[in-house]
Structure 1
Amino acid sequence: MIFRPYLLTALAASTTLMACGGSDEQPLPLPQLTAAQAATLSSCTALSGFSFAGTTVTAASTVASGTLNNAGQPVGEHCLVVGRMNDRVSTVDGQTYAIGFQMRLPRDWNGRFLHQGNGGTDGTVAVADGGGSLGSGGLLRNGLQMGFAVLSSDAGHSGAQNPLFGIDPQARLDYGYQAVRSLTPMAKALILAAYNKGPDRSYFAGSSNGGRHAMVAAARLPADYDGFLANSPGFNLPKAAVAQLWGAQQWNKVVTSTGTAPLYDLESAFTQTERRLVANAILGKCDALDGVADGLVQDADACRTAFDLARDVPTCSAARDGTTCLSAAQKTVVADVFAGAKNSAGTALYARWAYDPGLSATGWADWKFRNSVRGGRDPVAVAHIFSVPPVTTALSNTLSYALSFNMDTDAPNIFATNSVHTESAMSLMTPPDPANLDTMRLRGGKMLVIHGSADGVFSVDDTAAWYDALDQRLAGRAADAVRFFRVPGMGHSRGGPATDQYDALTALVDWVERGAAPDRIVAGARGTGNAGGVNADVPSTWSANRTRPLCPYPMVARYKSGDSELAASFACER
């Protein structure tokens, strides 16, 4: 792509005007990037001698076609390179750290590099196939099958160092964004050595924490990648983890059973039967708002006023029966949780949550009731990775830590620094200026963000608020480079009563390299017989092959005519 200086100057001026509240003039079109060109792997074994600063290659071997499979189809022959970067011994905790990675380089390469962001607290080098870790119920053709050269890493620490790597400030920084910064030029150099040419186009994609990585990369490394795919992104991850502890404290007010050690039965506060009662009430008020009663709430914004928990869910007149009603205390707790975490002064600590029938799914309960207390991810993440200073005593009793966490005095520690941890968790984990993607936009980069409406750990409303801020800053032109899609019913990254299988990676490539902006992404239900695996949350009343259009926010899929099981019968409208 040849960039014309006068065009970029005009674009920059146009963006400045839009950032200040808009202009009556139409902005100039953004640059169109050219398509990637294919190449063939020159040698795999020669890559064992690959040299790059701070990098050790421990193995380079050919993987035969069919050794890996995805959705019942063989993954083609490729080269697997395994190594590590930036070996060091911490002066803080004495642990040995390195950024472990693997890269899979297909024999028949499509000219594209895919950096695969992995989820959770990292610590494991996932299979670099550009597939399951991208969310969406698993791609029926993963990135490696499509011909991408794919990189995966552990973000700078091992699984054995989880979660206590948070004691070391550099390990925190690597987890937040610096491992990606180190790996990116190395991966591109490795591709050059493998194919005698660097990648024509580079993409960053991931789900959950990997989606956060994608959003951070778009802000911090906008010149190094052309497209970004963020599925179920936890870009405010420290806030979300604190909110889960706050939620646990609310649920704990109405538990009826403490469970059996080492588990704690927080779910007894709001059982699956009771959640189905609420889900059915939501459907009763909101299902048909999109023109058809099909078990999906497409118009989530209209549902905010159509559904009222106090009015539409029966209140138990006497004892809680667990089936036909909620107690008044339960209603108070449910309403409080969905309204969002707050401190004692009523100041919001995180976003509100959307009422969606997907709350009845087991995956939603896992995040709300299990990961938030004993042995759960959220207490250990807040204590050891996000708080300054780290609270290392929390490992001995995560349940006690979660239920006694003080929203007034402990929650601000995710913003704190000290002489050892000079960058706060919120600084290292989030984009530095989330509503500013000018560098990405002005060079022709594109971003897709996809989020399930029933995500139990990262609020879809938090993502919507981010997009609203971006769109306001760009005077209503955010969709020229960034599009956000909600997935009704979908939980965290996948699952739930939803059409949760979609290929956003191909949609992103088409937008970046061909200028085909995605006006819809067709998603399918993973019913019986699905090649990528069956979603147990799909209702038996749905067609196993149901499809729906995912629509760019704030548009909604509305039924028009024809077979209501098919995406073609719906239009994306406001």
Structure 2
Amino acid sequence: MPGLFKTGCATRGWLLAVRTWLLQQTVGGRSFAALMGAALIAMLGMPINASAATTGLANLPAVMPAMNCAAVMSMDLSGVTDGTVTITSATVLPAGTVVGQNTLPAAVCDVKGTIGPGASLFELQLPTQGWTQRYLQAGCGGLCGNLSVNAPMASTCVPVTNGQIAMAATDMGHEGGNDGSWALNPQTKIDFAYRAEHATAQVSKAIINKFYARPAKYSYFDGCSDGGREALMEAQRFPDDFDGIAAGAPANDLIVQNTFHHAWPAVINLDPKTGKYVLLASKLPLIHAAVLQACDSIDGVTDGVIDNPQVCHFNPQSMLCAKGQAASTCLSQAEVNVVREIHDGATDANGVHLEQPVSREWGGELAWSLFVPATDAGPSGSINFVLPFLQYLDYFNGSNPSATLSNLKFTIEGFLKTVPVSSYLAATDPDLSPFARRGGKLILWHGLEDQHITPRGTIEYYEQMKYYMGSDKVDQFTRLYLFPGVAHCGGGNGPNTFDIVTSVMAWAETGTKPGKIVASIVDTNGQTTRTRPVFPYPAVAHYTGSGSTDDAANFVASTPSSDPHVDLHWIGEWLYSPGYESWCQTHGSDLICKGGNNWSSYRKVPTHWNNN
């Protein structure tokens, strides 16, 4: 019998079905759960929890609610956070209900409400058929503006897949408004910057405490992209909120990313004489094939994925058209220049890097269609990310709704004029000592084919953590994983299905240190066609030389004697240092911010910021 309880969700399906059926039955008009009590429900949950324990999770008994769902409406939540909390609905949703991108695996009490003084919305889902005392808060991507209780990096995380975890999310202070116009409200700016996630954690944990008559034993945060920034903001500013944090592809250097980083591939792709785009999306497959031919086999396996693009030294000049060669099979000199500059990243006229050197890693060229248009009339998709910042978000106060890409100057002076707002919007402080002291665990991860955010930024943050805190201390609570062939927050050409959340939970709950994480390629029929291990940075997977290269079992970790050389020398490297944070309040229609004392001391541009 014990052999039946394996970690895989499919092998547990029959048990979940029996358990759910029992919980739905009635005897003499009373529910089976009410008759048998929470103890039996917990007992029914034990085999599932025991299977979870094989992955390093604590074996926590399931707990039944101490009140009905409707009673949440009358909860007194005064003093829980720094604003007024209003519960607007509390409704039981049965198993199978589709909520956003999720199908609920078990019934929940779905709670929605607002948190003042702004208009932050939150949603909290409370399991009604057995809760294993865990809380997971899901981050929000882009400029947010929506509620999404979704944890994409928990594909096989048992408490998530069996519906035994309380989960919540916030809209970050506004609904819609992808143009950034919501930033005209100073309180909404604060909510988006750092307050909304913190307030949601405070309110959700207070409701959990009352609903189950006990607090969550463990609390977690899972976010990618801006959700990754939110994750690091929590670790930096509110270290007591969560026991474990998964921060994927973090947009933690938010201002630089949404100005110089995203504007660059649009600006350098425009012919200044004709105003037309030079490199078009039709050439991307050709470029990608050339990159693979040059670098795919470096890792010892030719599989369409570059495992370590840091050692790929592809030269776009090799694709220059020879005399008489068909233009569809090669690149013009202008196209060669654009490809090189997209890869290398934003610079000023003298070659000073205005973002981390290597803006997009080799191997992800197919995803460049994000910003490389299909026709020479464009437009580049990058504009959609840049304009909200140039028009509304790149100001402590004020706006410029008519701003265009031409307002952004790729100069040192332009850089220093643009980045001050980082002091309250960015999450780049590498000193996580308070989070580490309370036992918090952090997993950073990034896809190496990311077309939105450079993996070098996440590497830089990790390296700065080690610089300021010491490598040994960082190793006690942080891991970094770089996933070959994975695009922004998923997708891409490589194994892109993996579970980060279980590793965070196991580390927080039982001290199980994260090792390899197995990533998979799953086809449209749900069949796994390839698995690969990903090891903590700087280790990379090395093929043993025997067995299928589509099987993770045939790879081992190869760790260099020292961290691989990654050039992180650029004008904004001081942003990744302690003391940058400012805290803000509203004063009428203005934002008043204090702190960020290191800003003035770093404004001076060192003489060694040059082309070398």
For the Cα contact (< 8 Å) 1:287–1:297, is it kept in 2? yes
1:270 maps to which residue?
279
2:110 corresponds in structure 1 to: 80
Give the structure 2 partner of residue 455 of structure 1. Answer: 450
3-state secondary structure, aligned to 1:211: helix
SS of the residue aligned with 1:393?
Answer: coil
Which residue is equivalent to 1:116?
138
Give 1:529-568 correspondences, 5 Å limit.
529-530=525-526, 545-560=529-544, 561-568=546-553
What CA distance in whole angstroms lies between the structure 1 residues aligned with 2:486 and 2:462?
A: 19
Per-residue deviation at 1:140? Answer: 8.2
Please state whether the residue corresponding to 1:528 is helix, strand or coil: coil
Aligned to 1:570: 555
The C-alpha deviation readout for 1:463-518, integer Å capped at 9, x for no partner, is: 11111222233433223211111111211111111211101111111111111112
Tell me the TM-score normalised to structure 2 length.
0.74
Is residue 2:93 matched to residue 1:63?
yes
Q: Give the 5 Å matches for 1:130-209.
A: 130-132=150-152, 134=153, 143=160, 145-160=162-177, 162-209=179-226
State the Cα distance separating 1:343 from its structure 2 match: 2.9
Q: Which residue of 2 aligns with 1:406?
A: 409
Cα separation, partners in 2 of 1:297 and 1:146, compared to 1, 3 Å: farther
Q: What is residue 593 of structure 2 aligned with on the other side?
A: none
Is 2:262 the partner of 1:244?
A: yes
Q: Is 1:221 paired with 2:238?
A: yes
Using the TM superposition, give the Cα deviation of residue 322 of structure 1 relative to its aligned residue in structure 2, in angstroms.
Answer: 4.7
Please state how far the C-alpha of 1:295 moved relative to its aligned partner.
1.2
Structure-2 change in CA distance of 1:466 and 1:55 (3 Å): same
- Taking structure 1 as the reference length, the TM-score comes to 0.79
Aligned to 1:18: none
State the alpha-carbon separation in 2 of the partners of residues 157 and 104 from structure 1.
20
Contact 1:383 1:392 in 2 (8 A): yes
RMSD of aligned alpha carbons = 2.8
Output one character per residue of 1:444-480: Cα deviation in whole Å (capped at 9) or x when no partner. Answer: 2111111111111110011111112222334332232
Residues 530-561 of structure 1 show CA distances to partners (whole Å, capped at 9, x for unaligned) of: 28xxxxxxxxxxxx521111221111111112
| Distance (Å, rounded) in 2 between the aligned partners of 1:473 and 1:291 | 36
Trace 1:429-468 onto structure 2 (pairs within 5 A): 429-431=425-427, 434-468=429-463
Higher Rg of the two aligned structures: 2
**Partner in structure 1 of residue 63 of structure 2:** 39
The residue aligned with 1:334 is 339
Residue 80 of structure 1 aligns to a residue whose secondary structure is: strand
Q: Give yes or no for contact 1:155–1:180 (8 Å, CA) kept in 2.
A: yes
Aligned to 1:420: none
CA offset at residue 301 of structure 1? 2.5
Aligned-pair CA distance for 1:181: 2.3
Following superposition, the deviation at residue 254 of structure 1 comes to 8.4
- Secondary structure at 1:192's aligned position in 2? helix
Distance 1:181 1:515, change over 3 A: same
Change (3 A) 1:390 1:443: same
* Residues in 2 aligned to 1:72 and 1:104: alpha-carbon distance in whole angstroms: 12
Separation in 2, partners of 1:161, 1:365: 20
In structure 1, distance between residues paired with 2:100 and 2:181: 34
Match of 1:103 among 109, 118, 124: 124
- Are residue 283 (structure 1) and residue 292 (structure 2) matched? yes
**Letter in structure 2 aligned against 1:555:** A
1:393 aligns with 2:438: no
> Structure 1 residues 180, 319: CA separation in 2 closer, same or farther (over 3 Å shift)?
farther
CA distance in 1, matches of 2:100, 2:140: 18
1: distance between equivalents of 2:207 and 2:134?
13
**8 A contact 1:274–1:322 mirrored in 2:** no
Alignment: residue pair count? 488
Percent identity over the alignment is: 26
Distance 2:263 2:182 in 1: 21
One-letter code aligned to 1:552: P
In 2, the alpha carbon distance for the partners of 1:37 and 1:344 equals: 62
CA contact (8 A) 1:314 1:326 kept: yes
Determine if contact 1:203/1:226 at 8 Å carries over to the other structure: yes
* SS of residue paired to 1:252: coil
Q: Residue type matched to 1:406 in 2?
A: K
CA-CA distance at 1:81 after TM superposition: 0.3
Q: Which residue of 2 aligns with 1:486?
A: 482
In structure 2, C-alpha distance between the alignment counterparts of 1:45 and 1:381, rounded to whole Å:
42
Show the counterpart of 2:304. 295
- AA in 2 matched with 1:235: N
Query: Structure 1 residue 227: deviation in Å?
Result: 0.5
Partner secondary structure for residue 546 of structure 1? strand
**Structure 1: how far apart are the matches of 2:262 and 2:379?**
8
Instruction: Quickly say closer, same or farther: Cα 1:446–1:327, change in 2 above 3 A.
Output: same
Counterpart secondary structure, 1:253: coil
CA distance in 2 between partners of 1:368 and 1:461 (Å): 21
Shift of the alpha carbon at 1:143? 2.9
Are the counterparts in 1 of residues 371 and 382 from structure 2 also a CA contact under 8 Å?
no
How far does the alpha carbon of each residue in 1:78-133 deviate from its partner, in whole angstroms, 9 at most, with x for none?
1100100104xxxxxxxxx411111001122121111111101011112x2x334x
- Match in the other structure for 2:606: none
Structure 1 residues 33 and 545, CA gap change in structure 2 (3 angstroms): closer
Given that 2:319 and 2:336 are in contact with CA atoms closer than 8 Å, whether structure 1 keeps it comes out as: no
Partner residue, 2:76? 51
CA distance in 2, matches of 1:336, 1:153: 37
- Encode CA deviations 1:166-192: one digit per residue, 9 max, x unaligned: 122221111010112222211110110
CA contact (8 A) 2:263 2:405 kept: yes
Q: Measured at CA, do residues 367 and 551 of structure 1 come closer, stay the same or move farther in structure 2, by a change above 3 Å? A: farther
RCO higher in structure (CA 8 A, sep ≥6): 1
Q: Tell me the equivalent position of 1:26.
A: none
